[in-house]
Amino acid sequence: MVSPAPSFSARTRRRVALACLGAALGLAAPGCASRYKADAEPPTYAAQAKISVKLNKTGNRQVRVEMLHLAPPTKIANANKMYMVWFSVPGSPPVKAGALEYNARRRRGLLRATTPNPKFEVIVTIEQSVRPTAPSDQVILRKLVSKI
């Protein structure tokens, strides 16, 4: 024998609906992060990237780029000085986000930056200058970021 479905009062249904709505809105609220993983391109064969994008209270995106198993830039070529991160928005030239803080002992690079753009591409390049004005041709990572 099948028992009848329980009946809920209008007040209970309203509470459940509000709880569901609150949970859905909470997914896009400040503090939630989207995470991305990507493998680097040659000549940094073993490197892997972890990218985290988090919406802050002002509506900007806080971006954290971490590169693991990353060879020192001078090991790839003596003229290389550093790894640089760029943000690219369709229709605009790439904007310098900053240099990866490279830890040779841990073979890791880390950058924290902020962007107002909801959809952008993260580009990591190897640079031969410490003050590049545009990305070099040595691109080791490209990742489109657009969930938040």
- Per the model's pLDDT, the better-predicted residue between 83 and 15 turns out to be 83
Share of the chain above pLDDT 90, in %: 73
Per the structure block, which two tokens stand in for 117? Answer: 């753009």
Instruction: Show the domains of the chain with their CATH numbers.
Output: 30-145 (2.60.40)
CA distances from 27 to 30, 48, 87, 98, 137 (A): 9, 27, 24, 29, 37
* Nearest residue to 148 via CA among 24, 58, 29, 57: 29
Q: How far apart are alpha carbons 68 and 22 in whole angstroms?
A: 36
Residue 22 has pLDDT above 90, yes or no: no
What pLDDT digit, counting tens, does each position of 27-76 carry? 444 557 899 999 999 999 899 999 999 999 999 999 999 999 999 999 99
